[in-house]
Amino acid sequence: MTQEPFDRFSSAPISQLIGFQVAQATQEDKELGSAVVALEVDERLHNPMGRVHGGVLAALADAAMGIAFGRMLDSGQDFSTVDLQIQYMRPVTSRLLRATAKVKQRGLRMGFVECEIRDSRDRLIACSTCTCTTIDI
């Protein structure tokens, strides 16, 4: 499958390792800076208390927000996350999780991205935000 130039951030090695499933990008995703990333979680991703490790949820949010921001970049640009915040709303043990990210503001060098992670029952699991900086390559 040929990857669109604006979707080059969708196939990171970490996504394959953890099992992220990135929804195929549309032209609208590029224009709006949006992305949806899913992850089926089970006991392999649990912490010692038997729930999905918070770092896995943070990685899921980070991936979705990075893909959303990356889709807005020109071919001669990369980016780096400057900061990431996450708020955990409820624990989860096993379910299909869906992280939906959208760029809320983008300037010449900086961008602000928001993400919600919801389970298959549409319950809010976590909210996250990040700030990204554009890097010319």
pLDDT tens by residue, 24-34: 888 888 889 99
Give the per-residue pLDDT at 20. Answer: 94
Q: Containing domain of residue 37, as a range?
A: 5-136
Give the per-residue pLDDT at 2. Answer: 43
Asked whether 47 and 53 are in contact (CB, 8 A), the reply is yes
CATH number at residue 90: 3.10.129.10
Q: How many structural domains compose the chain?
A: 1
What is the pTM for the complete model shown?
A: 0.92
pLDDT higher than threshold 60 for residue 66: yes
- Report the share of the chain in percent with pLDDT over 70: 94
> What Rg value do the Cα atoms of the chain yield, rounded?
15
